[in-house]
Structure 1
Amino acid sequence: MTNLRRLARQTLTIARRDFIATVFTPVFLLFLFAPVIMGAFGAIGGMGAQSVASGSADKARIVAIVPDAVARSLSQVDAGLRSGFRVRDEAPATLTTLRPSGDPAAQARAAFATKEYDASAVLFGPLDRPHILYGPRGDRSARYLQLLAQSTLAAQATGGTLPRVEAVKIPMQRPRASAGGRNQSAFLAVFGIFFLTLFLAGQVVGTMAEERNNKVIEVLAAAVPLEAVFLGKLLGMFGVAVLFVAFWATVVGQVGALMPPAFAAGLGELAPAIGGPTFALLFCLYFSMAYLLLGSVFLGVGAQASTMREIQMLSLPITILQVGMFALSTAAASRPGSNLALFAEAFPLSSPFAMAGRAANRPELWPHLLALGWQLLWVAIFIIVGARLFRRGVLQSGSARPFWKRRRAIDTGVS
């Protein structure tokens, strides 16, 4: 048996061992359904925040202090203008009209002090020269009141209502992906890989701490090369990540079939430049590369820790590193072809994120073949460096010949 075949067999044995030890445990079910638990807490918090926000929105008002005749026209024009707002949150606050009494300016200032509603802007005076008072973050409401006064004057000039226009609306499909759709696809690709690696790759840090404490790692290191141990553990945890992603991709795919047509049409705008099927394949490949790259770094760093306290201390810099790669790749995806994008595509740890964004923005295929080879090279480098640091720093066995030059007198492959 050649050294390469022996190394491959030993690596796969370690990977199978770690995969089975992780998956066939009750704790794995908690890990598998962690998104449900996180989503439940997020939904509870979101409903609470929405309840508070809706309560505040219900009391928000824009106020117009005008005579009754003008108030009727103002309300009719306001109803017509609001029909153009698709989402309630985009529309201005509800209009309230008040009859002038005494000093309109004092009445307008008093509207901000009332307990019946929260006034964001108040209009008073003639519509051709109105005065508008507005509070903090009320400039948008003030502009709407100005537009409302202008439209009401136009309606009064044409008989009390604005002209009715019966438009012929014809839906169209874009012949090619829009720039906005490509940018959104690029961001979602970068965010998707970031979220998955943030959730999954950090687990690699603690894979060797327990085996260091119970001396199993020393038995493995005596039986197989450390490079095979590191690569096997990385592949084993990657198998766990693939199982996790496949499970939730199946669930989301079944739920996606129940999406309303409007939501599905919105997803149709997310058209990557390289094509949907190719983009999906590249997304899977770049997720794999991102996991292997970050996982190999985390495995090498985490192998130096011997206690859970040390592993917990490593969690913060690991998270900062992942967020930094996300920020760099997001900036690169928004400026394709720039020097920043080229740097993000070449830097090993950000390359999978940035190249996934490039797949959404540009149709060329050959740069992705180069990028995948470049990333695989750095996975090998990180594993070799991590194994040597572990050998020298933890096992304290000094330097050793490269694993591809070692000759073994007896086949001691782990089976």
Structure 2
Amino acid sequence: MSRLRRTIRQTLTIARRDLIATVFTPIFLLFLFAPLITGSFGAVGGLGAATVAQGSADKARVIAIVPAALARPIAEADTRLRAAFRRDEDAPPGLTTLRPTGDAQAQARAAFRAKEYDAVAVLYGPLASPHILAAARGGRAADYLTLLAQETLAAQALGGRLPVVAPIRTSVERAASSQGGRRQSAFFASLGIFFLTLLLASQVIGTMAEERNNKVIEILAAAVPLESVFLGKLLGMFGVAVLFIAFWGTVLSQLGAMASPGFAAALHELTPAVGGPVFALLFAAYFATAFLLLGSVFLGIGAQATTMREIQLLSLPVTLTQVGMFGLAVAAEAHPGSWFQTAVELFPLSSSFAMAGHAASSPALAPHVAALAWQLLWVTISITLGARAFRRGVLQSGSARWWRRRPASN
């Protein structure tokens, strides 16, 4: 058996060992359903916050202090303007009309102290030149009261009624995705790789430290080259990540099949520039390279740590760096063709995030071949450096420096 085949066989043996040891445990089920558990807690918290916000929104009001003769016209104008807002859009607070009693300015200020509603903005005075009082966050409501006054005056100028317009609407599908859709798909591509690597690649850091404490790593290092051990562990955890993505990808695809036509149309706007099938392949490739590169860094860090406290302290800078790389990739998409985008695409730790966004926003395929080769080169370098650092720093079996070598005796 040649040396290359023996190395590949040893690497795959380590990968299969780690994959089976991780998947066939009860903890893997907890890991698999971690997004559901986290999402459930988030949904409960979000539901409570939404309930509080909805209660506050129900009491919010815009107030119009107008004579009795204007109460009905301004209410009709309010109905016409609100027809432009859909249920899922943030419409202005409901309108409450009050009749003026004495000092209109004092009455307007007193409306903010009322207990039966929460006044956001109050209008008083003649509609042609009204006075509007706005609360701290009532700027938008004040603008709405201005439009309401204009609408009411326009209706009065036309005899109390505005002309009815009956538009003929026709739905049009784009032949290609819009520039805005490409920008959004680029952002979601970078976000997807960032989220998956942040969730999955960090699991690698504890594997080496655990086996180091159990003295298993010394047995493996005696039988298999350390580079094969490192690569095998990375491939094993990558197999775990593929199972995780396959499971949740299947679940989300079934949920997507039941989505509304409006949601499907919104997804159509996110069509990547290279096309759906090609983008799926590139996304998988960039996720693989990002996982292997970050995983090799985490593996090298875990190999140097002896306790969970050390692992947490050492992994924090890598995680923060990963967040920074995602921020750089998103910022680079806002400057296409610039030196900044090129630098972010060339930097190894941010290359996968940036190139995934590049695939969504640009139809060119040639840069991706070079980018994938560049990233695989850095994966190899990272694995080699991690193995050498473990061999020298932990196993104390590295070769001596050339300046420390003693001359051979005669």
- Shorter chain as normaliser: what TM range? over 0.9
The residue aligned with 1:331 is 331
TM superposition shift of 1:274: 1.0
The residue aligned with 1:204 is 204
TM superposition shift of 1:88: 4.9
Q: Tell me the secondary structure at the aligned position of residue 324 of structure 2.
A: helix
TM superposition shift of 1:325: 1.2
The residue aligned with 1:144 is 144
The residue aligned with 2:405 is none
The residue aligned with 1:350 is 350
Q: Is the 8 A contact 1:63 1:123 kept in 2?
A: yes
The residue aligned with 1:97 is 97
Matches of 2:53 and 2:253 in 1, distance apart? 32
Matches of 2:262 and 2:400 in 1, distance apart? 62
1:134-155 CA deviation, whole Å, 9 max, x = no partner?
0101111111111110111001
TM superposition shift of 1:116: 1.1
The residue aligned with 1:10 is 10
1:171-218 CA deviation, whole Å, 9 max, x = no partner?
111122101100110011011111111110001111111111111100
1:82-124 CA deviation, whole Å, 9 max, x = no partner?
1111245521111110011111110000001111111111000
Q: Is the 8 A contact 2:108 2:123 kept in 1?
A: yes
TM superposition shift of 1:161: 2.1
Matches of 2:178 and 2:17 in 1, distance apart? 48
Structure 1 counterpart of 2:121, one-letter code: A
Q: Is the 8 A contact 2:301 2:315 kept in 1?
A: no
TM superposition shift of 1:64: 0.3
1:232-279 CA deviation, whole Å, 9 max, x = no partner?
000000000001001110111111111111111111111111111111
Q: Tell me the secondary structure at the aligned position of residue 193 of structure 2.
A: helix
Q: Is the 8 A contact 1:73 1:161 kept in 2?
A: no
TM superposition shift of 1:67: 1.1
TM superposition shift of 1:219: 0.6
Matches of 2:316 and 2:83 in 1, distance apart? 49
Q: Tell me the secondary structure at the aligned position of residue 173 of structure 1.
A: coil
Q: Is the 8 A contact 1:65 1:123 kept in 2?
A: yes
Q: Is the 8 A contact 2:185 2:360 kept in 1?
A: yes
Q: Tell me the secondary structure at the aligned position of residue 61 of structure 1.
A: strand
- Normalising to structure 1: TM-score of the pair? 0.95
Q: Is the 8 A contact 1:336 1:361 kept in 2?
A: no
Spell out the pairing of 1:164-179 with structure 2 (5 A cutoff).
164-179=164-179
Worse-matched range after superposition: 355-364 or 332-341: 332-341
Matches of 1:40 and 1:227 in 2, distance apart? 41
Q: Tell me the secondary structure at the aligned position of residue 123 of structure 1.
A: strand
Structure 2 counterpart of 1:331, one-letter code: A
Q: Is the 8 A contact 1:391 1:399 kept in 2?
A: no
Q: Is the 8 A contact 1:206 1:311 kept in 2?
A: yes
The residue aligned with 1:410 is none
1:356-375 CA deviation, whole Å, 9 max, x = no partner?
00001100000001100000
- Normalising to structure 2: TM-score of the pair? 0.96
Q: Is the 8 A contact 1:333 1:357 kept in 2?
A: yes
Matches of 2:144 and 2:339 in 1, distance apart? 42
Structure 2 counterpart of 1:384, one-letter code: T
Worse-matched range after superposition: 322-331 or 332-341: 332-341
Matches of 2:84 and 2:322 in 1, distance apart? 42
TM superposition shift of 1:399: 2.5
Matches of 1:57 and 1:341 in 2, distance apart? 43
Spell out the pairing of 1:254-293 with structure 2 (5 A cutoff).
254-293=254-293
Q: Tell me the secondary structure at the aligned position of residue 110 of structure 1.
A: helix
Structure 1 counterpart of 2:221, one-letter code: A
TM superposition shift of 1:318: 2.5
The residue aligned with 1:118 is 118
Matches of 1:229 and 1:337 in 2, distance apart? 40
TM superposition shift of 1:50: 0.4
Q: Tell me the secondary structure at the aligned position of residue 61 of structure 2.
A: strand
Q: Is the 8 A contact 2:209 2:302 kept in 1?
A: yes
What percentage of aligned pairs have identical amino acids?
Answer: 69
Gaps of 5+ in 2: 402-410
Spell out the pairing of 1:297-316 with structure 2 (5 A cutoff).
297-316=297-316
Matches of 2:129 and 2:119 in 1, distance apart? 21
What is the number of equivalent residue pairs in this alignment?
401
Q: Tell me the secondary structure at the aligned position of residue 121 of structure 1.
A: strand
The residue aligned with 2:156 is 156
Q: Is the 8 A contact 1:184 1:270 kept in 2?
A: yes
Q: Is the 8 A contact 2:189 2:357 kept in 1?
A: yes
The residue aligned with 1:407 is none
Matches of 1:88 and 1:237 in 2, distance apart? 41
The residue aligned with 1:406 is none
Q: Tell me the secondary structure at the aligned position of residue 169 of structure 2.
A: coil
Q: Is the 8 A contact 1:77 1:161 kept in 2?
A: no
TM superposition shift of 1:17: 0.5
Matches of 1:400 and 1:21 in 2, distance apart? 36
Q: Tell me the secondary structure at the aligned position of residue 274 of structure 2.
A: coil
Structure 1 counterpart of 2:190, one-letter code: V
Q: Is the 8 A contact 2:298 2:315 kept in 1?
A: no
The residue aligned with 2:369 is 369
Please tell me the root mean square deviation across aligned C-alpha atoms, in Å: 1.2
The residue aligned with 1:405 is none
